[in-house]
Amino acid sequence: MCEFDSGAAVALPGGIGISKLSVYDIEAPDGQVGGTPHVHLACSEGYYVIAGSGAVQTLNAKGFTETPLQAGTVVWFDPGTIHRLVNGGGLQILTLMPNSGLPEAGDAVLTLPPEHLADRATYLKATTLTGEGEARTPAAMARRDLALEGFAVLRDAYEAEGPSALDDFYASAVRIVQPRLADWRRRWEQGARRLADETGAALNALEAGTAPHLQHAELHQLPAPTEFGRHGMCGRLDTYDLQSRQ
């Protein structure tokens, strides 16, 4: 017996999330232009470069790399990969992330110096943005520059110690996100996991010579972003709210 929930909440194919990212074009203290280094603990991330050029700097157990980006480039990386975008000029990216909004629900920890990673309250005090609209820009850049301090320390430590240099940062990141895990699990169950289960049900039905899911087919549309220019970690984000679909 195969069941298909035609009344379930709509999610993008595979439970992904998408946003258009215009990478920050303000110079950092190290002389490079770009975003805030951070890590995701449960979600991978993919980039499709729409316009401009630049690079993504990454640091994980295999070391530091800098990967060039230009229009048409596709790159992706696993959770645990610390990453920073560098804007070489007009860099715009379509970002793709799994798990139905889980990244927007807090699956990201900035590479702040250790004293700001002691606990969740201390971390949030250092990373919560203040102000509205353009007034948020100074706070976003101050947060970025603080994370760059910690990123530089991690890079130097990796050169001296190897992969073990990342252990304390990873452990701190886990402690910071743990209070959100029940919500993350709910989002995953209602999004990506549900969609995977529906595919399994469809395959079972097709093997039985039936296809009840075909009777529930619809077209879904997001005609435009529902939020423009939100200050994200890497740049200005145009985001989409599935509840506004047509």
Question: What is the per-residue pLDDT across 29-38, written as a single tens digit (0 to 9) for each?
Answer: 999 999 999 9
Let me know if residue 146 belongs to a domain.
yes
pTM (2 d.p.)? 0.92
- Domain containing 78 equals 15-193+223-235
Let me know if residue 202 belongs to a domain.
no
- pLDDT score of 1: 33
Residues 143, 144, 146, 151, CA torsion sign = positive
96 has which bridge partners? 18, 46
Let me know if residue 168 belongs to a domain.
yes
Which comes out higher in pLDDT, residue 24 or 132? 24
- pLDDT score of 243: 66
Let me know if residue 122 belongs to a domain.
yes
Let me know if residue 45 belongs to a domain.
yes
Name the pLDDT band for 244 (thresholds 50, 70, 90): low
Share of the chain above pLDDT 90, in %: 83
Q: Is the pLDDT of residue 115 over 60?
A: yes
Q: How many domains does the chain have?
A: 1
Q: Is the pLDDT of residue 9 over 90?
A: no
Largest CA distance in the chain: 63
Let me know if residue 41 belongs to a domain.
yes
Cα separation of 229 and 134, whole Å?
9
Identify the CATH number of the domain in which residue 69 sits.
Answer: 2.60.120.10
Cβ contact 55:88 at 8 Å: yes
- φ, ψ for residue 71 (rounded to 5)? -55, 130
Let me know if residue 213 belongs to a domain.
no
- Residue 184: strand, helix, or coil: helix
Average pLDDT, the chain: 93
Let me know if residue 203 belongs to a domain.
no
Question: What is the per-residue pLDDT across 57-98, written as a single tens digit (0 to 9) for each?
Answer: 999 999 999 999 999 999 999 999 999 999 999 999 999 999
Cβ contact 111:82 at 8 Å: yes
- Residue 78: strand, helix, or coil: coil
- Residue 10: strand, helix, or coil: coil
